[in-house]
Structure 1
Amino acid sequence: MPVSNAITHSMTWNQEFLEGLVPQAQVQEILSIPLSSTACIQDKLIWKYSNDGMFSAKTAFHQILTLRASIPLQEQNWKWVWRLRCAERIRLFIWLLLRNRVLTNAVRYERHMASSSSCPRCFGIPETTLHLLRDCPSAVQVWNTIGLGGLDFFHLPLQHWLECNARNISQVLHGNMSHDVLFLSTIWQLRKCRNRLIFKGEELSAAMLCSLINNYSLDTVKAMACNIFNKDRALRGISWQPPDSPFCKLNTDGSREQVSGLASARGVLGDTTGASIKGSSVNIGQASIFLAELWGCREGLILCKALKVSHLVIEMDSLAAVQVIEGTKDNDSLAAVLVADICRLSNDFTSIVIQHTPQEGNFAADFLAGIGRSLPVGTTIFYFPPPGLNAFLEGDHLGSERSFKILTLDDSPTAWLSVSATSPSSSPPDAGLESPPCKTPFWPDL
């Protein structure tokens, strides 16, 4: 059966046909695949595990972890490891210890990489991870010298021993040093001392090793005290700015529900006075947030064309989507169909500007997020603002500012990080309509 059997004459998916063919979950995935009625896009191979279809080491690594999720050890909580107060290399070392990936002689012997599993310092006893870091007589002498060795210290299993000591932030008996910093510095230096003996033939005395541990711990404390970030976050204000005559402004936005993966897009068209002309919302199906942003832009352009708008400013809060449309960012995915439609539709306007704005300047479009997913699949036109939207439109008309926080780096340009809006939140999903919506896959002549 050809795919064309599932496509209507108006270049939309035949939902009823699909529902009789495949499960509902797959129907939602198919409905989110954009179809173009204006551009002919050739089929191509893409990387399915990224939003833009481009291969990256990050997405490949994430997919490998997903495939290995059935390993029992993956069920453990690893968050405490990445929250340790230490250098990144030590966090990675702890993670390797817990995964039994540190190449001690015992591990090397099991993998047929060594002829003996004996410890290179005390000989005769297999060099396991616990022996290397705690039970070897050389290590025991170091732990007792720095004051961390106790009755329970030498009897805990590896994972419990590491977690209990690495997360203990109490002060040690001597000096201005916390337990976790001293413990992590010690196991790191014990490992380095062992490698120095293996690869360089140099053996350090317990006194010299304790001196290295103390200096390393002090350097760690100093490093933690130096915060390169300016802790004072400055409040900035932003408001919706009306376009200059004869332009209209289209604010679009996309959203995605984390659990179900259902996505929606919406748009609000306003004039030079800030009054809303029309609004739209489209229930896409299962799609990425990146695709949802582009869906909102394309459907908004179709609406503006139907309303015979000739001069248009489009504001989107997705910088990546703006860059793809402008051609400054590579794209090789399902978004290519949407981008081609957007570019083709843009040619029908006398003047058009597509620009990025923070979410706080795009609240009217963001407000419709919950409504879109509760509507039938397809595009819905709002002839009148739904309940709750008028407050945002009135604020836009009056030039009301929404506050958000920015975090700056010393002697560097402003870095936009976290946002804390003071304006009302988005509407609940069950917000109603003041006028019956007009459901249509593509906009009619209004």
Structure 2
Amino acid sequence: MLSGMLTSSGEWDWGRLEHILPASVLDTLAADKPPRPQYGPDAPGWRWDERRRFTLASAYRSLLSDSTQLRDPKRRIIWALRVPQRIRVFMWITAHKWYLTNVELVRRHISLSDGCSICFKGVEDIEHVLWKCTKAHELWYNVLRSDKLDSFMSTPFDDWLLINLRHKSGPVNPEIVWKGPDRGWVKVNVDASVNSTDNQALIGGLIRDDSGGWVLGFYGVVGRCSLLLAEMWAIHEGLCRAWDTGCRRVEVETDSKEAACIVNRVSHALAGSALVQAIWTLMRQEWLVQVWTLIQFRL
């Protein structure tokens, strides 16, 4: 099993792995913690089941999801909308990220730069074109502050779209307030992002005391992985930094509800992952740890 690819200290034996695996696979492997006895037995797992066990139902669901676009839930939602056909087409193309953005042009070797030529801030992917660009943000700001917008929203999907538009564009008068932890505690805010072109994951976070004073900041590159796994790495790194700093009463705050559910054992997803087992092992040490989501309720 994988335990044969570890060094005597329990880390990945990169010198050995580099001779048998391509760079893309090594980046993916770097995002997984090496198996250790305290994390459970080193055993294969079925990726399409949250408990990592093979079932006919999970196999059927995986085949069904990959079989045809006709079963794509976006197809059922978008083409059922009572809107002009051009809007359905626009939403369909957007949902599948088929626009020729600069990121896509670079991927096709048509352009040399993937940067935005309008605001010159960040890469021009589909999210940048629709939300992140300063011109796009200005457009949504002017649209969403109009009192007439709610009158056009009549279906459940319209309500969902309106909520997401306002979430993406931010409130008309944004006021960001950091809520401090209880007295004697520290708060660890963590976050992660994954590059849409190569799946390279970045994590970062900071630790502040109950008065908002700076304790520690950190960031790092994880490797190639999903956004959920990157969020789990951010929580793991935040816990490690808090422990090493001597903090013994810690609140961890993440914007990933799914990651918080896994850490609090509400969800069984990734339960067989060595990374999740490592987080649970950290939380069993002699300290008090709470994991929250940004909407400030305990799971």
In the alignment, which of 276, 282, 285 is matched to residue 345 of structure 1?
282
| Distance (Å, rounded) in 1 between the aligned partners of 2:86 and 2:250 | 59
In the alignment, which of 163, 181, 184 is matched to residue 246 of structure 1?
184
Shift of 1:286: 1.3
SS in 2 for 1:39: helix
Pair 307,23 (structure 1): closer, same or farther in 2 beyond 3 Å: same
For 2:5, the aligned partner's letter is A
In the alignment, which of 237, 242, 245 is matched to residue 304 of structure 1?
242
1:283 maps to what in 2? 221
Shift of 1:33: 1.8
For 2:194, the aligned partner's letter is R
Shift of 1:10: 3.3
2:41 maps to what in 1? 42
2:63 maps to what in 1? 60
| Distance (Å, rounded) in 2 between the aligned partners of 1:5 and 1:11 | 10
Moved more, 279-288 or 57-66: 57-66
**Consecutive aligned runs of 4 or more in structure 1 exceeding 3 Å deviation:** 2-5, 43-47, 49-60, 78-87, 166-169, 224-238, 332-335
| Distance (Å, rounded) in 1 between the aligned partners of 2:77 and 2:250 | 51
Shift of 1:265: 2.1
1:265 maps to what in 2? 203
Shift of 1:6: 2.8
Query: CA-to-partner distance for each residue in 1:395-437, whole Å, 9 max, x for gaps?
Result: xxxxxxxxxxxxxxxxxxxxxxxxxxxxxxxxxxxxxxxxxxx
SS in 2 for 1:47: coil
Question: How large is the Cα RMSD of the aligned pairs?
Answer: 3.8
Shift of 1:301: 1.2
For 2:240, the aligned partner's letter is I
Query: CA-to-partner distance for each residue in 1:207-240, whole Å, 9 max, x for gaps?
Result: xxxxxxxxxxxxxxxxx99435566969475421
1:19 maps to what in 2? 18
In the alignment, which of 276, 285, 293 is matched to residue 356 of structure 1?
293
Query: CA-to-partner distance for each residue in 1:37-82, whole Å, 9 max, x for gaps?
Result: 572312455333578857386543233349xxxxxxxxxxx97994
CA contact 2:190–2:238 (8 Å) conserved in 1:
yes
Q: Report the TM-score, using the length of structure 2 for normalisation.
A: 0.59
Which of the two has higher C-alpha Rg? Answer: 1
CA contact 1:243–1:271 (8 Å) conserved in 2:
yes
Shift of 1:292: 1.0
| Distance (Å, rounded) in 1 between the aligned partners of 2:186 and 2:22 | 42
For 2:67, the aligned partner's letter is I
Shift of 1:251: 1.0
CA contact 1:36–1:341 (8 Å) conserved in 2:
no
Count how many residue pairs are aligned between Structure 1 and Structure 2.
215
Note the residue ranges of structure 2 that are not aligned, 5 or more in a row.
Answer: 88-151
CA contact 2:203–2:222 (8 Å) conserved in 1:
yes
Shift of 1:314: 0.6
Pair 327,238 (structure 1): closer, same or farther in 2 beyond 3 Å: same
Query: CA-to-partner distance for each residue in 1:89-129, whole Å, 9 max, x for gaps?
Result: xxxxxxxxxxxxxxxxxxxxxxxxxxxxxxxxxxxxxxxxx
Identity across aligned pairs (percent)?
19
Q: Report the TM-score, using the length of structure 1 for normalisation.
A: 0.41
